[in-house]
Amino acid sequence: MEFLGHVAAWFADPTTWAGRNGLPARGFEHLWISGVALLAGMAIALPIGLVIGHTGRGAAVAIAFANIGRAVPSLGIMGLAFLLLLPLGLGVGPLPAIIALAALAIPPIVVNTHAGLRGVDPDLVEAARGMGMRETQLLARVEVPIALPVILAGVRTSAVQVVATATLAAVFGGGTLGELIIIGFNTGDQVLVFGAALVVAALSFATEITFALIQRAGTSPGMHPVAGSMPAD
């Protein structure tokens, strides 16, 4: 209880909220790096997922690479990016972290986008083709709206992973709330380590809730389960 009292006092201390290493500054840094990485991951993953989900071609290869990407540690990718960017003068800073976090965001989005599109009723797809829809129209007007909740679930998973992992950016001078954790470890300040980690956990939870609401908003009202409803025989 005494330790928690010290943590509460740390949050109440005005210096915790001021300066370069204050929670607002490091928190904003954490969020913008996470946001840029997530957007970069989406820009790569969504087109791949849409193509393989719609056509079915290349799906095995893309899913295999996505699963391999899940197995590669983000810290290892950051280290590799750091070494490659160092001769260009870009090794120290947020860029290695953004590259690694974007790579972390790609697999769930690719897998979920593919699964969502392949899960669309084939009879519905064929009916749309029979009405004369072109492939791009079929994708945009039929498949994506139906698959959107599954696609957004993949984005939601990626977003939470990216926010939680962005703390590693501090290892390569990228800042974020991880900088406070490193300072705490170096100085033996357990209160600082715990407080900063608590803020990261809170941000991850807030990200989960935010994207859950986005996912719900992106789900057609007709696809929401009705409380107490029973499946038809």
Q: What is the pLDDT of residues 103-133, one digit of tens each?
A: 999 999 999 999 999 999 988 888 988 888 8
pTM of the model: 0.89
Domain membership of residue 171 (yes or no) is yes
The C-alpha atoms of residue 141 and residue 207 are separated, in whole angstroms, by 29
The C-alpha atoms of residue 62 and residue 65 are separated, in whole angstroms, by 5
- Specify the pLDDT at position 227: 39
- DSSP of 100-157, one letter per residue? HHHHHHHHHHHHHHHHHHHTS-HHHHHHHHHTT--HHHHIIIIIHHHHHHHHHHHHHH
Domain membership of residue 227 (yes or no) is no
The number of folded domains in the chain is 1
The CATH number of residue 142's host domain is 1.10.3720.10
- Spatial neighbors of 58 by CB under 8 A, at least 6 apart, are 51, 52
Q: Which amino acid is at 30?
A: H
Domain membership of residue 226 (yes or no) is no
User: What are the tokens at 183?
Assistant: 């300072």
Domain membership of residue 154 (yes or no) is yes
Sign of CA dihedral 104, 41, 145, 207: positive
Q: What is the mean pLDDT of residues 152-166?
A: 96
Q: What is the mean pLDDT of residues 207-220?
A: 89
Task: Please state which of the ranges 53-67, 134-148, 162-176 shows the lowest mean pLDDT.
Answer: 53-67
Domain membership of residue 18 (yes or no) is no
Name the residue range of residue 94's domain. 2-12+23-220
- Specify the pLDDT at position 226: 41
Domain membership of residue 52 (yes or no) is yes
Domain membership of residue 17 (yes or no) is no
- Specify the pLDDT at position 223: 59
Q: What is the pLDDT of residues 164-208, one digit of tens each?
A: 999 999 999 888 999 999 999 999 999 999 999 999 999 999 999
Domain membership of residue 196 (yes or no) is yes
What is the chain's mean pLDDT, rounded?
89
